[in-house]
């Protein structure tokens, strides 16, 4: 019975022994163990090869894992707390360093991008301005040409009358047609053409007026423009004394002056480059009573400025 009892004790000892070797192995790794735990660890470490056979897992491994878990509460708590204490600090340092790098890049990169952008704008405007100036200079040398061709008088009558204030005076009514040639010499642009009133005057008194209807003339092209000048009941006051008439028709040549201005505008580069061409014309005209409804040449009677 004693031997059986001794066996039972040895078996009990052997069954309890494997839990102790796994427990001290974890304690060896912890530097924060006290002297009492160190003695236990040393003793248990030396007794492990004798009591616990190698390679006998199963129930002992489960017990050893539970023992390891329970035994690691004291020493491991300090280690795990230290780990949890230091890890957020590292993450915070990394985030802070990344933020500082971003701030550094932002402060050092923005002026450089701004400098490149300003340099691009300056270069673009210089190039565009030079190009526009070249176009403007080239277009200014291609002025439109205007040539007065003829004038014809369809009607010219002199009669007595009164002005708006009731003053009696000689009055004139007339109807005439002026033809001119407009030529656009521009090689790369068209022009929009208008004019000031065509004034036909006698003794500095306008007796007939008219104007060009606005038109567009394409590049390197020309056209003949016809303008009708009319006047009805225009008082001549003292100027009419020099006119002789028979049945309301003049019996002598009547000297007249034709003056107007032709305006042409080109849109070379949209609204940015739009040169304007103004041409003032003044012609000396003589109305011949015997040449009614006959075209009178003006090619040598006009001044252009």
pLDDT in tens, 167-198: 888 899 999 999 999 999 999 899 999 999 99
> Does residue 50 surpass a pLDDT of 90?
no
Q: Determine the 3-state secondary structure of 153 from DSSP.
A: strand
Q: Determine the 3-state secondary structure of 166 from DSSP.
A: coil
> Does residue 74 surpass a pLDDT of 80?
no
Mean pLDDT over residues 138-159, rounded? 91
Q: Which residue stretches of the chain are H helix?
A: 2-16, 19-28, 35-51, 59-71, 73-140
Q: Is the pTM of this model over 0.75?
A: no
Q: Determine the 3-state secondary structure of 201 from DSSP.
A: strand
Which two structure tokens, joined as six digits, stand for 7? 């066996």
pLDDT for position 110? 55
Over pLDDT 70: what percentage of the chain?
64
> In which band, very low, low, confident or very high, does the pLDDT at 119 lie, cut at 50, 70 and 90?
confident
More confident of the two residues 178 and 104: 178
Q: Would you say 274 and 237 are in contact if contact means Cβ atoms under 8 Å apart?
A: no
What is the C-alpha separation between 263 and 197, in angstroms, rounded?
Answer: 11
Q: Encode pLDDT of 268-293 as tens digits.
A: 887 788 899 999 999 999 999 989 99
pLDDT for position 280? 96
pLDDT for position 106? 54
Q: Point out the least confidently predicted range of 67-71, 149-153, 179-183, 197-201.
A: 67-71
Nearest to 152 by CA among 269, 30, 292: 292
Which regions of 163-253 does DSSP assign to beta strands (E)? 168-184, 191-195, 198-202, 205-210, 215-217, 221-235, 245-246, 249-250
Q: Point out the least confidently predicted range of 51-60, 118-127, 236-245.
A: 51-60
pLDDT for position 47? 42
> In which band, very low, low, confident or very high, does the pLDDT at 235 lie, cut at 50, 70 and 90?
very high
> In which band, very low, low, confident or very high, does the pLDDT at 68 lie, cut at 50, 70 and 90?
very low
Terminus-to-terminus CA distance in the chain, angstroms?
149
* Locus of tokens 């494997």: 18
Mean pLDDT over residues 77-94, rounded? 49
Mean pLDDT over residues 100-108, rounded? 54
Residues 6+ apart with CB under 8 A from 160: 168, 169, 170, 171
Q: Point out the least confidently predicted range of 94-108, 118-132, 151-165, 180-194.
A: 94-108
Q: Determine the 3-state secondary structure of 261 from DSSP.
A: strand
Nearest to 288 by CA among 248, 256, 257, 241: 256
**Backbone phi, psi, residue 143, to 5°:** -75, 145
For 74, half-sphere exposure in the C-beta direction (CA atoms, 13 angstrom radius) is: 10
> Does residue 205 surpass a pLDDT of 50?
yes
More confident of the two residues 5 and 209: 209
Residues 6+ apart with CB under 8 A from 272: 132
> In which band, very low, low, confident or very high, does the pLDDT at 100 lie, cut at 50, 70 and 90?
low
**Domain ranges within the chain, ordered by starting residue:** 14-71, 91-141, 144-304
Mean pLDDT over residues 65-75, rounded? 44
For 229, half-sphere exposure in the C-beta direction (CA atoms, 13 angstrom radius) is: 25
pLDDT for position 94? 52
What is the C-alpha separation between 303 and 284, in angstroms, rounded?
Answer: 9
Q: Would you say 189 and 220 are in contact if contact means Cβ atoms under 8 Å apart?
A: no
Nearest to 208 by CA among 217, 199, 216: 199
**Backbone phi, psi, residue 107, to 5°:** -75, -35
> In which band, very low, low, confident or very high, does the pLDDT at 10 lie, cut at 50, 70 and 90?
very low
Mean pLDDT over residues 102-131, rounded? 74
Length of the chain equals 305
């Amino acid at each position: 019975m004693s031997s059986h009892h001794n066996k039972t004790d040895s078996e009990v000892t052997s069954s309890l022994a494997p839990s102790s070797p796994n427990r001290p192995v974890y304690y060896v790794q912890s530097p924060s163990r006290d002297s009492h735990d160190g003695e236990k660890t040393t003793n248990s470490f030396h007794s492990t090869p004798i009591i616990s056979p190698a390679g006998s897992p199963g129930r002992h491994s489960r017990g050893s894992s539970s023992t390891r878990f329970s035994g690691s509460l004291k020493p491991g708590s300090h280690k795990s707390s230290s780990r949890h204490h230091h890890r957020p600090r590292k993450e915070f340092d990394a985030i802070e360093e990344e933020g500082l790098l971003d701030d550094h890049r932002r402060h050092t990169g923005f002026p450089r991008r701004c400098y490149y952008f300003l340099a691009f704008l300056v270069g673009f405007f210089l190039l565009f301005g030079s190009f526009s100036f070249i176009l403007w200079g080239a277009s200014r040398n291609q002025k439109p040409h205007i040539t007065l061709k003829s004038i014809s008088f369809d009607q010219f009558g002199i009669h007595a009358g009164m002005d708006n204030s009731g003053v009696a005076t000689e009055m004139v009514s007339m109807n005439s047609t002026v033809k001119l040639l407009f030529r656009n010499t521009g090689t790369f642009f068209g022009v929009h053409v208008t004019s000031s009133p065509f004034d036909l005057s006698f003794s500095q008194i306008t007796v007939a007026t008219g104007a060009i209807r606005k038109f567009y003339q394409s590049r390197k092209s020309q056209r003949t423009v016809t303008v009708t000048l009319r006047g009805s009941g225009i008082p001549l006051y003292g100027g009419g004394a020099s006119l002789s008439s028979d049945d309301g028709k003049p019996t002598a040549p009547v000297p007249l002056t034709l003056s107007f201005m032709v305006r042409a505008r080109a849109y070379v580069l949209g609204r940015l480059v739009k040169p304007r061409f103004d041409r003032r014309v003044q012609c000396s005209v003589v109305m011949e009573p015997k040449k009614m409804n006959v075209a009178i040449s003006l090619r040598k009677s006009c001044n252009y400025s």
